[in-house]
Amino acid sequence: MREFAFELAVCSALEAESDGIVARQLGTRDRIVDVVELRPGPEFETRPTITAEPLPPLAIESDVSVGTARYWKDAIDDPDGRGREAVERAIERGFFEAERRNGRRYVRQTVRYPDWIGGLRAIENKPDLGRPGDLELQLRKDVSLALFDEVVLVTASYVTGAHLNRIPDPVGVVRFDPETGDRETIRNAERLPVEETGIAVRDVGPTRADVEPIGADEKARLRRRIAERAYGKGWRPRRFPNCAKAERGGPAFRTDDALPYCGWKGRLVDPTRECGVDCQGHDPADPPAVDVDAHRAARTPWEPDPAGTERRQVGLDFYS
């Protein structure tokens, strides 16, 4: 199975058993993680009431509170000149409310940012261990930084002792059948020290490696940003092929999912790489009507249109 379809099958199976949020292809500090599972924290139920979109990091990390409104320039750390945009997005997404005083924009939170992140698990998909690429080095970097509570390798290959010897001990290993959804845990993942300083490994050469310590506070900030992106993005592709052969489908064990399926190829497809005029089965047509948001909302705690969150329009006077 192609890696794209394998990854979708892994996400579909993971979502069916998770009480949190699953997302794919998320940028972290140094790389793109295949799949992230966000596990609920004690105040998880509050997060969906705010917005379906990710909240701007600068707004979350600001000194704005639900109490007295503050002049936004005094409350936001703005080294890159993105403070205005962050405030605008926070207002649009119902996290901030604004008022004007003497020609200045003052903001306060509409709700206290909740303690909603219970844990983060990174999943590296490698269906064929016979073509590992940079897998071993990447997993060692993940363990060294310890940005995620757990790191798990998921493969369709038979896992040998030689394979396990090349995979860092804290990394869990799962054999997954993308046709049936059956899973076999080869090795359980160990919990990583996310509350402690981690070591980011940058460049590795024959005789040296460039490393950088990442403190616990910075890791907490990065984890919060990853969680927000995961909540806003999810894992289902939003683009479907402009082809009469395209339809809504899913992996064999969950065929009623909202994923791009090609009737001509008889499998899930990656519309950005496999579909178009170069495909021999291409039959130009409008893409199938699929409500990806509704499908995600029906199967996860994510809320596409939070009830009770007032949408506010940022006025042009913000920039005066």
**Residue 227 and residue 155 in one domain:** yes
SS3 string, the chain, reads CCHHHHHHHHHHHHHHHCCCEEEEEEECCCCEEEEEEEEECCCHHHHHHCCCCCCCHHHHCCCCCCCCCEEHHHHCCCCCCCHHHHHHHHHHCCCEEEEEECCEEEEEECCCCCCCEEEEEEEEECCCCCCCCCHHHHHHHHHHHCCCCEEEEEECCCCCHHHHHHCCCCCEEEEECCCCCCEEEEECCCCCCCCCCEEEEEEECCCCEEEEEECHHHHHHHHHHHHHHHHHHCCCCCCCCCECCEEEECCCCCCCCCEEEECCCCEECCHHHHCCCCCCCCCECCCCCCCHHHHHHHHCCCCCCCCCCCCCCCCHHHHC
74: domain range?
Answer: 56-112
**Residue 29 and residue 146 in one domain:** yes
**Residue 74 and residue 137 in one domain:** no
**How much is the pTM?**
0.92
Note whether residue 196 is domain-resident: yes
Note whether residue 307 is domain-resident: no
Q: Of the residues 178, 200, 233, which one is the last residue of a structural domain?
A: 233
**Residue 265 and residue 141 in one domain:** no
**Residue 166 and residue 293 in one domain:** no
Note whether residue 48 is domain-resident: no
**Residue 151 and residue 36 in one domain:** yes
Q: Of the residues 211, 233, 255, which one is the last residue of a structural domain?
A: 233
**Residue 136 and residue 26 in one domain:** yes
Q: Domains in the chain: how many in total?
A: 3
**Residue 189 and residue 252 in one domain:** no
Note whether residue 311 is domain-resident: no
Per-residue pLDDT in tens (0 to 9) along the chain, 320 residues:
589 999 999 999 999 999 999 999 999 888 899 999 999 999 999 999 999 999 999 999 999 999 889 999 999 988 788 899 999 999 999 999 999 999 999 999 999 999 999 999 999 999 999 887 789 989 999 999 999 999 999 999 999 999 999 999 999 999 999 999 999 999 999 999 999 999 998 777 666 778 899 999 999 999 999 999 999 999 999 999 999 999 999 999 999 999 999 999 999 999 999 999 999 999 999 999 999 999 999 999 999 999 744 544 444 444 44
